A and B are shown apart, each in its own frame.
Chain A
Amino acid sequence: MRLKIIRLITSGLFGFIVAGLFYTQVIQGEYYFRLSVNNRIRVVPMEGWRGQIKDRNGKVLADNRLSYDVTVTPQEIGNATELFQFLGGALGVSEQSIARRYGRKKDAPFVPVVVAQDISREDAIIIEENKYRFPSLSVQESYRRFYPLRENSAHVLGYVGKMSVAQRDRFKEYGYSMESVVGYSGVEEYYDTYLRGKEGGLQIEVNSRGQQVRLLGVREPRKGQDITLTIDSEVQRDALELLGDRVGVVIVMDMDSGEILGMTSSPGFDPNIFVGSRDASEINRIFADPLAPAINRAITGLFPPGSVFKVIMATAGLETKKIVPGTSFVCPGFYQLRKAVFRCTHVHGTQNLIEALAHSCNVYFYNVGLLLGADAINHYARLMGLGEKIFIDLPYERDGSIPGREQRRLEGRGGWHAGDTLNLSIGQGEVQVTPLQLVRLMTLVARGGWIVQPHVIKAIGDVPGDTFTDERRMKVDEDILETVRKGLRGAVADEAGTARVVNLPDLYVAGKTGTAQTSGDKKNHAWFAGYAKGGVRNIVFCVLLEHGGSSYNACLLAKDLLLRMQEKKIL
């Protein structure tokens, strides 16, 4: 009897085990099978090289260099304190900082943790030699972005960094992974899909320690495509030097092709800082700087154009036939609108249109402005490309704004007054344009209504970026622009021209100065936008000194730049 009970209990226990086996192997079998596959197969990504970025002469602006990272594999770490002590000593950093970084980044036991990035070759050798003492230690080689010319062209190039979570979500479908290096701002961002290498990888079978047992498959990473820019690093270097500590922008463009030869925004930054991210404080300093060195002022900065806006006024006046080239107004040095007094820079006396442009007479254009009215000014400003995006092949371009009645009304800020029209006539107040918009404006004037698309890309790989060579005719009369050009030439060539200093012997230079008033007691913005013909190539340029005082400073800079370009046979 008792033995029968024991037999029953035994059978029950065995039944329990068999049921358990059935559950584990049959009902959950599929699930565990998948787990076992995931257990043993790992994909080790291999980042492809990023394509190089070169300037128009083939000089490399963005390159890749070999770098060494120190990794620690958690499951083989052994005596951690000893290891961190050794690493701290070898790399000359504190033991705690390495331990902290290790603790922060530790993930799975078989995933190596990067504890030190981009160490010197000498340090890498020292660490390799001590591998026998610390089996968890490893030095990995990787390619890292490198900008040999540092600040030169930084804003055009942009920089690279690890992908952010938001970006990963956006680009997941295009084969980007979390560890992908992506471009931020500039060409690095705009042409990222061309530049980035095709990610390859090793599919390996690992054992429980994460050690490779067998190679199951390889997909070779591919190098991204090289990109050649229209930028001339020599022009950029000169622009950087001439700007110096001053805040401002220099843009130089080939007016016939739309190729941007130079686009320098100051203050700048060294894109190499972003690559290694060795020291986050350096990056933070760039972003925290009130002068915003990371911003490309040439396309993202918005400024009132000041007197450069008079080019619009002259064109609009002639187009609407409110004035003819011979129309004259008398400048007594000020303009009285009811009780308000609007000043001019000098007492210019009687001025015709061409003189008014050359001498930048405010009173003349106050009169033109009142003849035109705000709506017409607004229309022509937009027609000639102000307050509109140019769609240059760089990210984060802004459009700016041209004030008008409609805008005022929509924003509910009261009515439009005649005083506003006067302010608008000389480009002060709420007019906001990017320096690049003035470059295009000058192209339009210089080429008699034909414009080209400004761009920075010359070729991707061996394929030239010829989609940019289309020319467009703007609806502005050629004869009218000829008159405007006379005025612009007068500014440089006339005895009393505002840009007299830029009058160079072997070059036909024309342009318009501008001094944009700024709020508060800061100095005015100094502008000089114009074009130069008769050299190796025809160029348009724009110089802006933010709070740079008189436009004379901008003219001086332009003169020096043109001279240097002439010297180097670029112009």
Chain B
Amino acid sequence: MGRDLEKKIWMYTTGIMIIGLIALYSASFENLRVSRQVFYDQLGCAVLGLILMYVISRVDYRHFYDFAYIIYALNVLLLLLVLVGGRHALGARRWIDIAGVNFQPSEVTKIAVIFFLARYFSKRRPRFLFDIIGKIEVILMEIIFPFFVVILSMALIFKQPDLGTAIVIFGIFVAMLFAGGLKARYVLGFLGLIAAVVPFGWHFLKSYQKDRLLVFLNPNIDPLGAGYTVIQSKIAVGSGQIFGKGWFAGTQAQLNFLPERHTDFIFSVIGEEWGLVGALVLIYCYYQLISCGLDVAQQLKDKFAMLVAVGVVSILTLQVVINIGMVMGLFPVVGLTLPLVSYGRTSFLAFAVMVGFLLGLNKRRTVF
């Protein structure tokens, strides 16, 4: 059973990577001029990612438990560094150079948050559930405190600005809070409170983020500005129809109508060139991978391990759903990658590492 699950995870992960590479090969064909740099980069990433997956799966996850808080602290430090001296690209400061390699700490933050929360929520604290002080203590210790720790990194990422990652991290928090076993009414109460507060957050949005939200509501407000990407990607996905236009035959992608088509909008290339059939194959792979992740979580007795698995599963789900949804114009454009498909080294490797954790947790399951 265990080996079977492991095999499936390897299979679907590689499947997703291959679909991504095929799409990227086509997307990097620019103006009838071949610029394969992007493709070879990603190919290298895929190889490196598979190696990382294997290595990580061999590491005892207990080590991650020990280092969870330190990893989180280091990551917050890195995020601060980005704000002070990060590299600009596409209007945001998300990248940083360390030892000659530049990467996006916000992608690493997702992992750091998972470990921090998994460790924090897995720790048993004495509870006095029947008096008011006990309830306040639960609210403080189980919700408010961890939320504020997470908000620290969320705020730093939000400031970069990277609304998408901030949203995903919030999603992880809610999922793990729920999976951690806290009474449902606390979780719902927390969500209700957030929903009430969010409208006030409008003031903290960058003007381009406001634009994107408004344009999401009606892309035709600004068809050549903020709405352009959404309109063009909708046209791309829709025009693929059932069987797609064929590899390299996607006019939206090949003729450069799609901006950011090898990163956040790679799905529109798949939708256009491979149609509904191709898109469903990819979505099926994701669904199976996530399903495997949940199987792993379900079989784990260790709460820390289970929470890590839930964290990984929730990130994957959120990013896949939000990314595809935004490409089709169902969600606002928030700048999230499609896991293991979008071009982007840090993101790609971070997801490989996360899948590695799933494999690792799965292996250790029988040790106890």
| Complex contacts, A338 vs chain B, CB 8 Å | none
A382 on the interface (CB 8 Å rule)? no
Contacts A7-B294, A32-B234; A22 near B313 (Cβ below 8 A): no
Shortest A259–chain B CB gap in Å is 58
Residues of chain B in range 291-307 having any CB-CB distance to chain A below 8 Å: 291, 294, 297-298, 306
| Complex contacts, B272 vs chain A, CB 8 Å | 36
A66 on the interface (CB 8 Å rule)? no
| C-alpha gap A211/B256 in the complex (Å) | 10
| Complex contacts, A20 vs chain B, CB 8 Å | 324-325, 328, 330
Nearest A residue to B257 by beta-carbon distance?
A208
A29 on the interface (CB 8 Å rule)? yes
Whether the pair B242, A29 counts as a contact (CB closer than 8 A) is yes
B139 on the interface (CB 8 Å rule)? no
Whether the pair A17, B283 counts as a contact (CB closer than 8 A) is yes
| Complex contacts, B317 vs chain A, CB 8 Å | 10, 13-14
A120 on the interface (CB 8 Å rule)? no
Our pick among B32, B255, B280 for the contact of A21 (Cβ within 8 Å) is: B280
Total count of chain A residues near the partner, CB < 8 A:
38
Our pick among B181, B239, B324, B330 for the contact of A29 (Cβ within 8 Å) is: B239
Whether the pair A213, B255 counts as a contact (CB closer than 8 A) is yes
Nearest A residue to B31 by beta-carbon distance?
A207
Shortest B55–chain A CB gap in Å is 28
Classify the interface of chain B: helix, strand, loop or mixed: helix
Our pick among A14, A30, A36, A214 for the contact of B252 (Cβ within 8 Å) is: A36
| Complex contacts, B242 vs chain A, CB 8 Å | 25-26, 29
| Complex contacts, A5 vs chain B, CB 8 Å | 178
Whether the pair B256, A209 counts as a contact (CB closer than 8 A) is yes
B276 on the interface (CB 8 Å rule)? yes
Residues of chain B in range 152-209 having any CB-CB distance to chain A below 8 Å: 175, 178-179, 181
A347 on the interface (CB 8 Å rule)? no
Contacts A18-B280, A18-B283; A25 near B241 (Cβ below 8 A): yes
| C-alpha gap A30/B286 in the complex (Å) | 27
Whether the pair A25, B179 counts as a contact (CB closer than 8 A) is no
B335 on the interface (CB 8 Å rule)? no
| C-alpha gap A17/B329 in the complex (Å) | 11
| Complex contacts, A205 vs chain B, CB 8 Å | 251, 255
B271 on the interface (CB 8 Å rule)? yes
Residues of chain A in range 431-464 having any CB-CB distance to chain B below 8 Å: none
| Complex contacts, B219 vs chain A, CB 8 Å | none
Nearest B residue to A36 by beta-carbon distance?
B239
Shortest A156–chain B CB gap in Å is 48
| C-alpha gap A501/B178 in the complex (Å) | 117
| C-alpha gap A16/B32 in the complex (Å) | 36
| C-alpha gap A277/B325 in the complex (Å) | 52
| C-alpha gap A569/B134 in the complex (Å) | 124
Whether the pair A7, B235 counts as a contact (CB closer than 8 A) is no
| C-alpha gap A3/B305 in the complex (Å) | 13
Whether the pair B321, A24 counts as a contact (CB closer than 8 A) is no
Whether the pair A6, B179 counts as a contact (CB closer than 8 A) is yes
Our pick among B181, B234, B313 for the contact of A6 (Cβ within 8 Å) is: B313
Whether the pair A13, B237 counts as a contact (CB closer than 8 A) is no
| Complex contacts, B106 vs chain A, CB 8 Å | none
| C-alpha gap A17/B318 in the complex (Å) | 11
Whether the pair B236, A36 counts as a contact (CB closer than 8 A) is yes
Whether the pair B238, A33 counts as a contact (CB closer than 8 A) is yes
Shortest B178–chain A CB gap in Å is 6
Whether the pair A208, B232 counts as a contact (CB closer than 8 A) is yes
| C-alpha gap A116/B314 in the complex (Å) | 59
| Chain B contact residues, CB within 8 Å of chain A | 31-32, 175, 178-179, 181, 224, 232, 234-242, 251-252, 255-259, 271-272, 275-276, 279-280, 283, 286-287, 290-291, 294, 297-298, 306, 310, 313-314, 317, 320-321, 324-325, 328, 330
Which 3 pairs from chain A and chain B are nearest by CB? A32-B238, A29-B241, A36-B239
Known contacts A26-B241, A39-B232; 16 further A-B pairs (Cβ under 8 A):
A10-B294, A11-B287, A14-B286, A18-B283, A20-B330, A21-B237, A25-B237, A25-B240, A29-B239, A29-B242, A31-B238, A36-B251, A39-B235, A39-B251, A205-B255, A214-B32
**14 A-B Cβ contacts within 8 A?**
A2-B178, A3-B297, A7-B291, A14-B287, A18-B283, A22-B276, A26-B241, A29-B242, A33-B239, A39-B232, A39-B235, A109-B224, A213-B31, A213-B255
